[in-house]
Amino acid sequence: MKQKIALLGFGTVGQGICEILLNKKEYLKEKYNYEFEFVAVADFAFGSVYNPNGLNIPAMLEEAKAKKKFTRDLTTLDNVSLITKCNADVVCELTYTDLDTGGPAIEHCKAALESKKHIVTSNKGPAALRYPEMKALADKKGVKFMIEGTVVAGTPIINLVEGPLAGCEISKIRGILNGTTNYMLSEMEKGMGYDEVLKVAQDLGYAEANPAGDVEGYDARGKVTILANIVMGASMKINEVPCRGITKITSEDIQKAKDTNARWKLIGTVENKDGEITGSVSPEMIDLSHPLAGVMGATNALTFTTDLLGDVTIVGPGAGRIETGFSILTDLLQIHNSSCNCK
């Protein structure tokens, strides 16, 4: 049976998952007996479309590349009505992240789960702000709320903990959760000052025009909250997590670290000490012998401290069209493999 997919958001990640599925169609069929059909897409920039028998995704990708609005299968349904009424098995929520309110993504996720459709999302808003509620609703409706892409893009984190590391008790997670600031700190070591390196990061598209989400640590704080609540089973609220970004790091600080065989990293930490779970984000001087110290540029990394394996570190990309698109693929395949509720 083909898995029917609806996409909310047809930007970098939305187009990325379409490209991956189109390019790997035969491989996925042969290896996993996985077949798919996109039936609905809603996007502010390109419009809303619905065809219960399948959309022409290659043509839509062409239109998006040419920055043209969609021309086929147009619908006037608003997002929530489209989610509720369409015949999708899975809704991929790929609109913008709003870590203050959750934005429309929360309504999108609720509408999908209420109508017994799985959610796959890389949007940190619903996961960081409302995970327990979303998970409970998904469980009640017999569907899944899948969020691999919300922490370190397609580099397996949530699935690593729930899959290969299952059975290990994790007492601490520490890592580089924001690629932009890791790039900036790496460049500062080469001699650039903070303001100069921020401008370069903005020119390269790593940092937004308003860089606060990255440089003040708010993006990392969202991921710390997700990890605390999902991996450690906490009920942490995002604004309870102490958070300090990299805006006060000076060239003198960089030199001081170098002089002591260390290096500055913006570190997100979640720790379980005798059942008390805490989270934080702050710049730390990391000894060069630690695996996290060698992670440079826009790369992300996390070290899990476990009872059975000791420290396990995973390093990988934390952003990108295909890299984050892969997180969506891996969750879609898990839903397919569990074959729960697929029509």
Ligand X SMILES: NC(=O)c1ccc[n+]([C@@H]2O[C@H](COP(=O)([O-])OP(=O)(O)OC[C@H]3O[C@@H](n4cnc5c(N)ncnc54)[C@H](OP(=O)(O)O)[C@@H]3O)[C@@H](O)[C@H]2O)c1
What residues are annotated to the active site? 223
Contacting ligand X within 314-333 (CB under 6 A): 319-320, 324
The nearest distance, CB 122 to ligand X, in angstroms, is 4
The nearest distance, CB 273 to ligand X, in angstroms, is 30
Under the binding rule (CB under 6 A), the answer on residue 12 touching ligand X is yes
Distance from C-alpha of 91 to C-alpha of 38, rounded to nearest angstrom: 10
Q: Give the nearer residue to ligand X in terms of CB position, either 293 or 329.
A: 329
Show contacts of 197-206: CB within 8 Å, 24+ apart.
206/179, 206/180, 206/298
Q: Any idea which residue has 């702050």 for tokens?
A: 282
- 37: its two tokens: 């059909």
Q: Give the nearer residue to ligand X in terms of CB position, either 105 or 232.
A: 105
State the amino acid at position 241 in one-letter form.
V
Determine contact, residues 330/32, Cβ cutoff 8 Å. no
Under the binding rule (CB under 6 A), the answer on residue 8 touching ligand X is yes
The nearest distance, CB 77 to ligand X, in angstroms, is 12
Please measure the distance between the N-terminal and C-terminal CA atoms of the chain and give it in whole angstroms: 7
Determine which residue in the list 32, 33, 35, 44 makes contact with ligand X, applying CB under 6 A. 44
Under the binding rule (CB under 6 A), the answer on residue 149 touching ligand X is yes
State the amino acid at position 31 in one-letter form.
K
Under the binding rule (CB under 6 A), the answer on residue 299 touching ligand X is no
In eight-state DSSP terms, residue 150 is G
Determine which residue in the list 94, 147, 170, 236 makes contact with ligand X, applying CB under 6 A. 94
Under the binding rule (CB under 6 A), the answer on residue 79 touching ligand X is yes
Distance from C-alpha of 299 to C-alpha of 179, rounded to nearest angstrom: 5
The nearest distance, CB 63 to ligand X, in angstroms, is 12
> Please, where are the H alpha helices in 4-155?
12-23, 25-32, 57-65, 79-85, 104-114, 124-141
Under the binding rule (CB under 6 A), the answer on residue 123 touching ligand X is yes
Determine contact, residues 232/198, Cβ cutoff 8 Å. no
Determine which residue in the list 51, 75, 95, 181 makes contact with ligand X, applying CB under 6 A. 95
Under the binding rule (CB under 6 A), the answer on residue 32 touching ligand X is no
Residues at the contact surface with ligand X, assessed by CB under 6 A = 8-14, 42-45, 79, 94-97, 104, 122-123, 149, 153, 319-320, 324
